[in-house]
Amino acid sequence: MRRSLLVVLLAAVMIPSSGHAGPFTHDACAGSAAMTEWKRLGNDVLENLLFADGSMWVSDGTRSSVVRLDADGSEGTGLSGIPSPGGLTLGPDGLIYAGWGNGAVGAVLRTREAKVVRFDAADPNGTVAVYAKGFNMPNGMTWLPDGDLAISNDFDHGLVRIAPDGSWSELARVWGTNGLVVDPTGEQLYAAITFDQRSPIARISLDDTSDVDHDIQLTFGAASLEPSVHTDGDPDAPLLGVKGLDDMTRDADGILYVVANGTGELLRVDPADGSACLIAGGMQNPSSVRIAPEDGAFADGDPATLELYVTEFSGAVRKVVYAPAA
């Protein structure tokens, strides 16, 4: 449902990225990037991914499962029977946390049927337990410095924090959040916004979560699905109406890597000045991106490159080897 709704909402303003600089996309990043299809899980709708316990874990909405993949692409024992799996993250307790009920219907109708479950990678189906419940969408997720878990909702003001006892409350009044990243200092939370013509990444102060700005804007525009009209659009940004930002991650220096679900792009964003460049284009509704741990089997062992893995709504998991310019 989320896939079809996204396509309908964005179709009128989407212009496929050619991968070249111009008024409808960003300049290519300095350096080089090579993209391959690393694994295909049929035509399944893939929502999120995580590296944990030496494996890759993928939220597969079509299978209602969190699929486990080894570095050679073979499937191990994952978590089955999880409707509309959403965000994935490794908890401070060593368990994997997964969103349950990450669907557009629940988010829009505010059914409060979504939850977060956790499980042991050694025995996913035998150890699964509910961590928190009663909210509307567990889309992106990340841990906050104080030990709370942040959960996003790209169809509502549903950016929430979940305390270790499973209770939850609104984290910040931000509409339509998706991918979540805490900066290396632990002072800022960045949240990608999906249905907004400015293609913004919100910056939220964790010292005062009422302090929110949208000064990182990847495209020029004024309207959002909230609905709302914004007057702070950046006229110097590319002209495309909305990229449909989805999940994102960061490197050790705090540089953000975000996928654009609508335009099929992987972008590099420097939050210090809001500048952005295009690493790779031509993807089919990319939904999440993660950097492979340098000391693991999914990386090439070269510290000069980043191995970025991207899930798509098409069923593909793509690998992008990115070598930034010196």
| CATH assignment of the domain containing 280 | 2.120.10
47 lies in some domain: yes
Q: What is the pTM of this model?
A: 0.92
319 lies in some domain: yes
Instruction: Report the C-alpha gap between 228 and 214 in whole angstroms.
Output: 14
**pLDDT at position 108:** 83
The per-residue b/e assignment along 69-79, b for 16 or more CB within 10 angstroms, e otherwise, is beeeeeeeebb
81 lies in some domain: no
**pLDDT band per the 50, 70, 90 thresholds, residue 241:** low
224 lies in some domain: yes
69 lies in some domain: no
Instruction: Report the C-alpha gap between 236 and 217 in whole angstroms.
Output: 10
Radius of gyration of the chain (CA): 18
125 lies in some domain: no
| CB contact set of 23 (below 8 Å; sequence gap of 6+) | 238, 239, 240
pLDDT tens digits for range 133-192:
999 999 999 999 999 999 999 999 989 999 999 999 999 999 999 999 999 999 999 999
Pairing of strands 265-270, 275-280: antiparallel
**pLDDT at position 230:** 87
- State the residue range of the domain holding 308: 2-64+137-324
CA angle 105, 110, 114 (to 5 degrees): 75
The domain tally of the chain equals: 1
Cβ-in-10-Å burial (0-12, 13-18, 19+) of 11 comes to exposed
216 lies in some domain: yes
114 lies in some domain: no
Per-residue pLDDT at 19 exceeds 90: no
